[in-house]
Amino acid sequence: MSAMIRKSLNQPEETRPFEDGMGRLELVDVEAGAVGRATFEPGWKWSKHVKPIAKTESCQFAHLGYVLSGRMKIVMDDGDENEFGAGDVMVIPPGHDAWTVGDEACVVIDWQGMDDYAKR
């Protein structure tokens, strides 16, 4: 890194909506790659609202994220599962489905796998 960089997710450089208006991914690009703030609305499910965009059976991106609000359940292709909530850091390898839990939107900051996530 040759210089300090300041960007705001409140002024994203790119926004990628999910299917059926069930949320969005807001992105800024820094030298290390894209950083995203994903908002997953109640009822969002990867296999319904991103799978048609990704055209894969499960999410094939790794994630390194921090949950700002809400809850999300993640189930790996091998059956391993976990639920994440506000304040949790999550490290998720490729090969998973995910969905929101409860009536609150889940908001996640993600530092990995954002370059092509939900990209049309």
The region that residue 9 occupies, defined by phi over 0 for left and psi between -120 and 50 for alpha, beta otherwise, is alpha
Q: What is the DSSP letter of 48?
A: H
Q: 């965009």: which residue's tokens?
A: 53
Provide the domain count of the chain: 1
Tell me: the pLDDT tens digits for 93-116? Answer: 999 999 999 999 999 999 998 888
CA 46 from chain centre, in angstroms, equals 9
| Nearest alpha-carbon partner for 118 in 31, 4, 35, 24 | 24
**66 lies in which domain range?**
14-110
State the CATH number of the domain containing residue 70. 2.60.120.10
7 found inside a domain = no
Tell me: the pLDDT tens digits for 44-75? Answer: 999 999 999 999 999 999 999 999 999 999 99
Q: Report how far residue 82's alpha carbon sits from residue 91's, in angstroms, rounded to the nearest whole number.
A: 11
101 found inside a domain = yes
35 found inside a domain = yes
Residue 47's SS3 state is helix
CA 74 from chain centre, in angstroms, equals 11
Q: What is the pTM of this model?
A: 0.94
The region that residue 19 occupies, defined by phi over 0 for left and psi between -120 and 50 for alpha, beta otherwise, is beta
Residue 54, CB-side half-sphere exposure with 13 Å CA sphere: 23
